[in-house]
């Protein structure tokens, strides 16, 4: 996997890919329609942020590249790559608990805050892709 040169794209399998952690200057793409929703991405080496219909979906510090981003009412999964460990915040159900899997290993359960955000850390190494999966309990 590598960065998403077009910043945000729809994949043939019905997932989204976004983010470019190699950029020195913040770049954004707005008004990207996907499955009836409007998406916006802001990305560069320090942060990657995705919004859907003006609402928060994903943020990483530092910036990352994400492929295969999929979410339903009960799970979220994606592949992530970056140059350093990342703190990732994703939208979740207020107060709900989620089992977190990184590269197929259950790393524990995390509760979303009352604002509907769930925070996790993922160890990233340049050129290595990590699979992340969150399953609502």
Sorted by where each begins, the domain ranges of the chain are: 8-136
- Which of 8, 45, 12, 14 shows the shortest CA–CA distance to 30? 8
pLDDT at 2 over 90: no
- Which tens digit of pLDDT belongs to each residue from 79-137? 999 999 999 999 999 999 999 999 999 999 999 998 999 999 999 988 899 999 999 99
Q: What is the pLDDT of residue 126?
A: 86
CB 20 within 8 A of CB 12: no
Position 1 scores a pLDDT of 54
Our CA dihedral for 122, 126, 128, 132, rounded to 10 degrees, sits at 20
Q: What is the pTM of this model?
A: 0.95
For domain 8-136, the question of CATH label 1.20.81 is answered with no
- CA angle 86/36/92 to nearest 5° reads 35
pLDDT digits 0-9 by tens, 33-83: 999 999 999 999 999 999 999 999 999 999 999 999 999 999 999 999 999
């Amino acid at each position: 996997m590598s960065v998403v040169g077009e910043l945000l794209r729809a994949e043939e399998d019905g997932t989204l890919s976004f983010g470019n952690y190699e950029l020195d200057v913040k770049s954004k793409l707005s008004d990207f329609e996907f499955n009836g929703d409007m998406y916006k991405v802001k990305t560069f080496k320090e942060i990657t942020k995705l919004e859907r219909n003006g609402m928060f979906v994903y943020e990483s510090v530092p910036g990352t590249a994400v492929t295969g981003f999929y979410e339903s009412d009960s799970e979220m999964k994606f592949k992530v790559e970056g140059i350093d460990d990342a703190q990732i915040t994703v939208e979740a159900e207020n107060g709900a608990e989620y089992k977190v899997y990184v590269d197929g290993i259950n790393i524990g359960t995390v509760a979303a805050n009352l604002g509907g955000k769930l925070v996790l850390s993922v160890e990233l190494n340049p050129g290595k892709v990590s699979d992340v999966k969150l399953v609502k309990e």
